[in-house]
Amino acid sequence: MNKIKALYQKHKEIILYIIFGALTTLVNFVVYLLFDLILDKDLYLVTNLIAWVIAALFAYVVNKLFVFSVKSFDIKTVLRELLEFFGARVLSFLIEEAGMVLFIEALGFKNIAIDLSFFTVTGDLIAKVILAVIVIILNYFFSKFIIFKKKS
């Protein structure tokens, strides 16, 4: 048990980032699937944008408070963090949007539909899963080394 606690303490930040990254991804996917049901299938980029905005707001809060333990709430710090956080997230979002177009349009993922007994896995969902991994990794590096970096 002590080894597990020691491992957790040594890798706490990465473990928390993975947990909250997974929760952020879950928020993104739930919102995406909800709006995918509401909006036309051809509006997948709009649906992705809505999901991204809600997930990014969630991610800022949990990364600041729980992952990187930044407790400063002075207006100057929060504004700088928000600007950097959303700037980095916009960059990773644009990479995700370009990836969605690449997978769905250029690579033909729009023609994929795997019918499971309770759910149909579509090409856009497969593309989102692949791109989610890339985005999570990019966002960790942006957050760790730019936005919430510890001052020496």
Q: Using one digit for the tens of pLDDT, what is the confidence trace for 57-80?
A: 999 999 999 999 888 889 998 899
CA-based end-to-end distance of the chain: 33
User: Per residue in 133-146, pLDDT tens?
Assistant: 898 889 889 988 88
In total, how many domains does the chain have? 1
Question: Distance (Å, rounded) from C-alpha 89 to C-alpha 72?
Answer: 21
Nearest Cα neighbor of 44 from 123, 132, 108 is 123
Mean pLDDT of 112-136: 89
State the pLDDT confidence band at 151, using cuts at 50, 70 and 90.
low
Mean pLDDT of 12-18: 92
Helices (H), the chain: 2-10, 12-38, 44-62, 75-101, 123-142
State the pLDDT confidence band at 103, using cuts at 50, 70 and 90.
very high
pLDDT at residue 152, as a whole number: 61
pTM, full prediction = 0.72
Is the pLDDT at 117 greater than 90, yes or no? no
pLDDT at residue 61, as a whole number: 92
pLDDT at residue 100, as a whole number: 92
Q: Is residue 96 part of a domain?
A: yes
pLDDT at residue 25, as a whole number: 86
Burial class (CB in 10 A: 0-12, 13-18, 19+), 1: exposed
Kindly write down the DSSP assignment for every residue of 2-29, as one continuous string: HHHHHHHHHTHHHHHHHHHHHHHHHHHH
| Residue 40 domain boundaries | 2-147
Q: Is residue 152 part of a domain?
A: no
Burial 34-65 (b: 16+ CB within 10 A, else e): ebbeeeeeeebeebbebbbebbbebbbebbbe
Q: Is residue 86 part of a domain?
A: yes
